[in-house]
Amino acid sequence: MLPFLHDSKDSQPASDQSAHAAAPVAEAHPLDALTGGAFSAATSGERAQRVRDWLATDPGPEDMQAVYKELSAKDRGAAKALRDRLEELRRAKAQDAMAEEWRVKGQALLDSERLHIADALAWQRDAAKAGAPLARPPLSEIRDRLTERVSVVEDLQQRVMVQREAAALLAQRIELLSTNAWSNASAQQSGLEADVARWHEQSQALTAD
């Protein structure tokens, strides 16, 4: 009688079968679940897509930095989107810090009792030279308020100049009257007094402004 033939699979020793059953499964990367499987993706293209999908969820800077550190060591191409986002955040942070610095300087000018036109113009020139974001708040608001204040100061300066010239003309008229005959000077006195009174009124208005 022929000996009973066993199936080859059944003939494997029990120790071999248990070894296959106990074969360890590769552990997932600690950041794989966070990124939606970016570390376990089979190809670079899949990793890059999963990174982009994860970035669309607006993750925090600390998480992005941790993922970039790990992923860039494995796949720089897939980590490029992360690097670009981190660079964008760094630039935005630097812009915010610069905006705050120039906001404080501009506000100090606005809060001063006397605004010098040269200081206001220098603020805008130096802020632009430094790359401060003058086109968006709060610097755009500071710039507009300084421009308005400069316009007011220039208007006052012009009015003061006119008053000085008027005062010089009044002084000349008084000096000329002193050389005229009394009757002639007396006839012009009322007109001169009215002009002097008007000059004083305008000067008081300038002081109030």
Contact (Cβ atoms closer than 8 angstroms) between residue 160 and residue 121: no
Q: What is the pLDDT of residue 19?
A: 43
Burial 191-206 (b: 16+ CB within 10 A, else e): eeeeeeeeeeeeeeee
Please tell me the predicted confidence (pLDDT) of residue 7.
Answer: 47
Neighbouring CB atoms inside 10 A of 39's CB total 22
Cβ-proximal residues to 198 (8 Å cutoff; 6+ apart), any chain: none
Residues 6+ apart with CB under 8 A from 163: 199, 202, 203, 206
Residues of the chain with pLDDT under 50: 1-11, 14-23, 25
Distance, in Å, from the CA atom of 7 to the CA atom of 144, rounded to the nearest integer, reads 91
Phi, psi of 195 (to 5 degrees): -65, -40
Tell me the domain boundaries of the chain.
Answer: 31-99
* pTM confidence score: 0.60
